[in-house]
Amino acid sequence: MVSLAATFGRGAMTNHWRDIRHADLILINGANPAEAHPVGFRWMMRAKLERGAKMIHTDPRFTRTSAVSDHHVRIRTGTDVAFFGGLINYVLQNELYHKEYVDWATNAGHVVSADYAFTDGLFNGFNAQTSAYNTAAWAYETDGGFAKVDPANPRSVLNLMREHYKRYTPEMVERITGIPREQFLEVAKLVGETGRPDKVMTIVYAVGLTHHTTGVQLIRSAALLQLLLGNMGRPGGGMNAERGHANIQGNTDHAISWEILPGYLRIPAPGQKNLADYLAASATRKLRPNSVNFFGENYRKFMVSLLKAWYGDAATPANEFAFDYLPKPAANSSWISIFDQALRGKMEGLILSGMTATSIGPDSNQVLQALSNLKWLCVMDPFNTTSSEFWKAPGIDAASVQTEVFMLPATHWIEKDGSFTNSGRWVQWKEQVLPPEGEARHDHWLLAELFDRVKQLYAQQGGKFPDALKALTMPYRDARRPELDEIAQEINGKSLTTGKRLDTFAALLDDGTTTAGDWIYTGHYPETGNLAKRRAGIADPAKNDPTGMGFYPNWAWSWPLNRRVMYNRASADTQGRPWDPKRVGIAWDAAANKWVGDVPDYPATAAPGPTAPLPFIMTAEGTGRLFSNGVADGPFPEHYEPVESPVDNPLHPNVSTTPAAFRYDEKAGRGNRFGTAREFPYVATSYRLTEHEHYVTQNVEHLVQLQPEAFVEVPAELAREKGIVNGDHVRVSSKRGKLEVRAVVTSRLGALMIDGKKVYQIGIPIHWGFVGINTGQHWLANALTPFVGDASSRTPEFKSFLVNLEKI
């Protein structure tokens, strides 16, 4: 989310699964869609079979995705910045980038401030005491209040980019990633061809890029490559993130992340006393005269409409629409930070809903200790989990655990209706399949009743600052049992003047006369009905897909405003003509005086021309950002080694790992829990299997029969060295814990030469634990992973860490 928002203005999959069939080249990094997303993978196969598209799979393991790819590129996990950096350098050095697109649709010509510097692995603005950058130090030179544009200036973004990436030669890529020079150049040639207007590449990724201490920059480096090649906004192009669950995108949209409010509005910060303070820190200002700057210009409307949805009549102009009622946290409250606070003894209780901390948090042994430090723990889940029964974990002395655990049986998603928002931003309504069993209740009912009881306690007993609780509206037929249909209508928003639900977020106002529970979803449930229920699809393609591009505008609803490809103004040139007439995203219809095709991500009647608005309406520049201060660890992506690495960084060994990664143990004064290559000589990575859905399916008998027992994959060459044969019991250990499981000896993994050193990688599926069917030999994969977070998002390092391997 962070990387794409910093680059394009929004953090979401830019196209859609079915749009991948329009690609000429499919570059898959950090993903295994054939096994992890088998239904969506058919669109990649359609591209291969119908268009003759090439597929490149860059992955440490040879998987079923690799088996149908034209090239499997074995890479050392965590080094994708070097891989993409090498491709960026190849494209720039050989002038293969889409020049017209780059000049018009990116910030390539913006002049960067003279203060900018990058020396020996450090960007300017780094504070050694706080281990953090001042991102405001990465700024443009201004002229009359706007960013100065001069492509010939030595400090133009493109010239700085050439300088930054010239170090990423094919030889350096090989030293860092282990990809042989010849194979890298073969891939680079295919990638470089997609800088032509009649060619387009899509990049597909998943948590194999996300789950790193440099995850934001791994993804952003791929996004930069796509901007250079002119592949953003185009059918068959884009940056397409595969989500791990059917509603991960919807969770993010509705602010499951601690630092945002619904619709990606920032949560207020300490010192912001009113809306003006908040907007000054949150809403962007135009950096080009013809930038739309849509988010920044409308930020107040979206925020005020949200406050009116939450606080109703209590939100008035006189009290800044109840802005004071919002929390203004001073500290980070991301996932690892929660358990860090519990480890420090600074947290009394915790509610877990639909996720099990013990299995999905890094360094499971520390998470187990954190849960043991709590006074109480409440788990809302359809099944017992490794958190609701954490005291049963191997090595835990149950008698010493004082935590009181409450298990509230919640319904599974098949037991309720509601909407899912899939990877491609399609909001689709589902029906209840089964009624709830036993005492199970919907999780939103549990939370609604909990809120109501707390509110009653405040009324009876008093307490600090009760106003925010008392004012919060619950405008449902039954405030303790709201229907998801009612909540969907509230999310859509309405006019308080007419009482009617709104068709578009363009109708939202900042005077308190409109509401919206999430502005990007305004229009999905207008007065005409719930558009997420629409199902006009392939039964009649001629009628339901008039463009022939697979947009199917009357199947469900896609945010924003039912747009199927984001940033689609960039699919046409400055005159409004599609770059490729055979793959039309939108096009300017002069006779009709409007853009036609997909719903335009652009003012619908803004005619093309020299004074027309720039194409990326969500950024202050109006362009995609090759240079950005929207991330915490550098305006250009740079390769840093994982916190645990078998080698020093060949680019700058004195700053081998990213200096901005958040090292929780160090910050808290706890002992160092990082291992060295001398103790733990092998690189490990984690992944999923087709047969299981994370941990919940350990309760499903047939799936347990398909994958009954935990195992690790061991490269055949390493197994021979260790005397390990298929089925042997082995111990895999890190600085933090161990697994004792069976070995699967395989050629799917192989040795790599990294800077002259042979490096082995071991594969660890994640799905097992000590709760479920056949628990006897089940272990927690995250007993091995380090307690460290990405600089921007605090995402844990699940994909690259050091282990030792022994035969038991």
Helix axes 80-93, 157-165, angle to 10 degrees: 120
Mean pLDDT, the chain, integer? 95
Question: pLDDT at position 11, please?
Answer: 86
Which residue reads 């589902």 in tokens?
430
Q: How is residue 207 written in tokens? A: 């948590």
The 3-state secondary structure of 729-789, one letter per residue = EEEEECCCCEEEEEEEEECCCCCEEECCEEECEEEEECCCCCCCCCCCCCCCHHHCCCCEE
CA–CA distance, 45 with 204 (Å, rounded to integer): 13
Mean pLDDT (whole number) for 396-404: 92
- In tens, the pLDDT along 443-466 reads 999 999 999 999 999 999 999 999
Residues 6+ apart with CB under 8 A from 632: 132, 133, 135, 216, 660, 791, 792
Is the pLDDT assigned to residue 96 strictly greater than 70?
A: yes
Q: Is the pLDDT of residue 281 over 70?
A: yes
Please state, for a pLDDT cut of 90, what percent of the chain lies above it.
89
Q: What is the mean pLDDT of residues 53-82?
A: 97
Which tokens hold the place of 728?
């042997």
| Segment 225-245, tens digit of pLDDT | 999 999 999 999 999 998 877
pLDDT of the residue at 248: 81
Note the pLDDT of residue 62: 97
DSSP string, 628-691: -SSSSS-SS----B-SS-SS--SS-GGG-B-TTSEEHHHHHTPPP----TTT--EEEEEE--TT
Dihedral over alpha carbons 89, 90, 94, 97 (to 10 degrees) = -80
Lowest-pLDDT choice from 3-7, 223-227, 247-251, 253-257? 247-251
Q: What integer is the mean pLDDT of 21-43?
A: 95
Asked if 204 and 242 touch (Cβ cutoff 8 Å), the reply is yes
User: Does the pLDDT of residue 752 top 70, yes or no?
Assistant: yes
pLDDT tens per residue, range 546-574:
999 999 999 999 999 999 999 999 999 99
Distance, in Å, from the CA atom of 664 to the CA atom of 393, rounded to the nearest integer, reads 23
Tell me what pLDDT residue 777 has.
Answer: 57
pLDDT digits (tens, 9 = 90+) for 193-208: 999 999 999 999 998 8
In this structure, of 50-59, 509-518, 545-554, 777-786, the range with the lowest mean pLDDT score is: 777-786
775, pLDDT greater than 90:
no
Q: pTM of the entire structure?
A: 0.96
pLDDT in the model for residue 689: 93
User: Cβ atoms within 10 A of the Cβ of 436, count?
Assistant: 17
Q: How is residue 564 annotated by DSSP?
A: S
Neighbouring C-beta atoms of residue 274, cutoff 10 Å? 14
CB 232 within 8 A of CB 239: yes
Is the predicted pLDDT of residue 250 greater than 90, yes or no? no
pLDDT (average), residues 511-520: 98
Question: Does residue 774 register a pLDDT over 90?
Answer: no
Average pLDDT over residues 698-710: 92
Q: For residues 749 and 683, what is the distance between their CA atoms, to the nearest angstrom? A: 11
